[in-house]
Amino acid sequence: MKVLVVEDDVDLASQIGAALEEAGYTVETAHDGETGDFLGATEQVSAAVLDLGLPGMDGIAVLKSWRAQGLGFPVLILTARDAFADKVAGFRAGADDYVLKPFRMEEVVLRLAALLRRAAGHASPEIAAGSLVFDTATGLATLDGLPLKLTAFETRILRQLMLNLGRPVSRTDLAEQLYDGETDRDFRSIEVLIGRLRRKIGEGRIETRRGEGWRLLPGDPE
């Protein structure tokens, strides 16, 4: 899944991005409000981490712009500990949750995972497709109780399929979630990754839907 990080502190943005990538997300980064506003509107992001104290176009203005354009992806705002008015303004503008600075990177990852899980209609951090279980908070997958060794790209695909359990996910949607804006979309590599994932989780679990993409079965294959 692709997460947009809008933070003017370059070092902090890099740290957040690294933590999210380690958790299995694809990350787009912007260091000012105008760029963040543009990327949120043009990239197919699943969620955003948005600092409120941005230069030029501030975070509240960015958030209002996204919501005015009908963009409903979850937004986690970053705000200073004593800026209560900013938190209120953020929620009124359409934020879904907030993290107070300074914070631990694990908190950002866990809160973001919770937002994405709720947006997909899942109450628990763990999503199960029969004996295949995926933990959206940690990015870890198990099959019959045993951990699966997945690459970062395989984890991203499985996360997207799990969050859309039982529904087809198109090749275009997977490409948008796998690659950042500076990477060419290689559709053939997605088919290779799907093939590798099938071999690890069981050939019959991922169904190919002609013209629609791929669908992860909600239960164990017969």
| Mean pLDDT of all residues in 18-23 | 92
| pLDDT tens column, 171-180 | 888 888 787 6
| Mean pLDDT of all residues in 59-87 | 89
34 plus 137 within the same structural domain? no
12 plus 113 within the same structural domain? yes
159 plus 115 within the same structural domain? no
CATH number for the domain that contains residue 19: 3.40.50.2300
6 plus 113 within the same structural domain? yes
**Sheet of 97-101, strand order:** 26-30, 2-6, 47-51, 75-80, 97-101
47 plus 96 within the same structural domain? yes
Confidence of residue 23 (pLDDT cuts 50, 70, 90): confident
Confidence of residue 24 (pLDDT cuts 50, 70, 90): confident
Helix ranges (DSSP H) in the chain:
10-22, 33-42, 59-68, 84-93, 105-119, 152-163, 171-178, 187-201
Domain that holds residue 57: 2-119
Angstrom CA distances, 72 to 40, 42, 113, 196, 200, stand at 10, 13, 16, 33, 34
138 plus 111 within the same structural domain? no
54 plus 99 within the same structural domain? yes
Question: Residue 44: its pLDDT value, please?
Answer: 87
| pLDDT tens column, 191-221 | 999 999 999 999 899 999 888 999 999 999 8
31 plus 6 within the same structural domain? yes
- pLDDT more than 90, % of the chain: 61
**pTM of the entire predicted model:** 0.69
| pLDDT tens column, 95-145 | 999 998 889 999 999 999 889 888 877 767 788 999 999 998 788 999 999
196 plus 133 within the same structural domain? yes
Whether 156 contacts 26, CB under 8 Å: yes
Domain boundary, last residue among 119, 139, 156? 119
Question: Residue 182: its pLDDT value, please?
Answer: 56
Domain boundary, last residue among 119, 146, 178? 119
Question: Residue 52: its pLDDT value, please?
Answer: 92
Kindly tell me if the per-residue pLDDT of 181 is higher than 70: no
| pLDDT tens column, 143-159 | 999 999 999 889 989 99
Kindly tell me if the per-residue pLDDT of 19 is higher than 90: yes
Q: Alpha-carbon distance 167 to 110, whole Å? A: 25
Domain boundary, last residue among 93, 119, 145? 119
176 plus 67 within the same structural domain? no
Structural domains in the chain (count) = 2
Please indicate, yes or no, if residue 23 is contained in any of the structural domains.
yes
